[in-house]
Amino acid sequence: MAEETNDLPSAEEFERFLRESELQRSLVVKSEAAEAYGLRSEGAFGALTTVCIERAADGRITMTAMSRGAWSPARRICMALTTADWGRLQAALNRADFWALPEQHNRFGLDGWDWTIEGRQGARYHASTCWVPDTGTYFDLGRLFLELAGFEPNEP
């Protein structure tokens, strides 16, 4: 069951969270979990969503997500995920051939959003960034992160 806090972080706390996490990379890289995957969605006008899913050595699976819309307050969600959720994530990673994805997709633009999907297994790390993904297995993988966090896909 999701634990959504009503005591939302202030704008200053959220900005500090973003500075401390640098990019979503730090959530994945700095994680002490055995394996971690994350999505960072940066939208126009300052919208930002981060989702980090971690599996500890003892098998516990947790998700931490924060989202701030361009004109909406920040939300933070921390919750345990099921092994079925982890299985769905692993299946989506495999369909997208995550570890072989390019670091940067050849799509660029001025508006919209950028997704960066990252993963770490032990010391192995990979990240892939795409501007306005809208089809294919990369898009499906990113949407799964948003779905597991309870965020709408158009809520970057």
For 96, phi and psi rounded to 5 degrees?
-80, -5
> For residues 130 and 114, is the Cβ–Cβ distance under 8 A?
yes
* Model confidence pTM above 0.75: yes
CA angle in degrees (0–180, nearest 5) for 3-64-127: 160
Q: How high does pLDDT run on average in the chain?
A: 80
In this prediction, residue 23 carries a pLDDT of 42
pLDDT of residue 25: 46
pLDDT of the residue at 91: 98
Pull the structure tokens for residue 101.
């994805």
How far apart CA 53 and CA 39 sit, in angstroms, is 9
pLDDT in tens, 73-110: 778 889 999 999 999 999 999 999 999 999 888 766 66
Q: What is the mean pLDDT of residues 39-54?
A: 85
Q: What mean pLDDT is predicted for residues 132-138?
A: 85
Q: How far apart are CA 92 and CA 118, in angstroms?
A: 13
HSE on the CB side for 48, CA within 13 Å?
15
Q: What is the pLDDT of residue 31?
A: 66
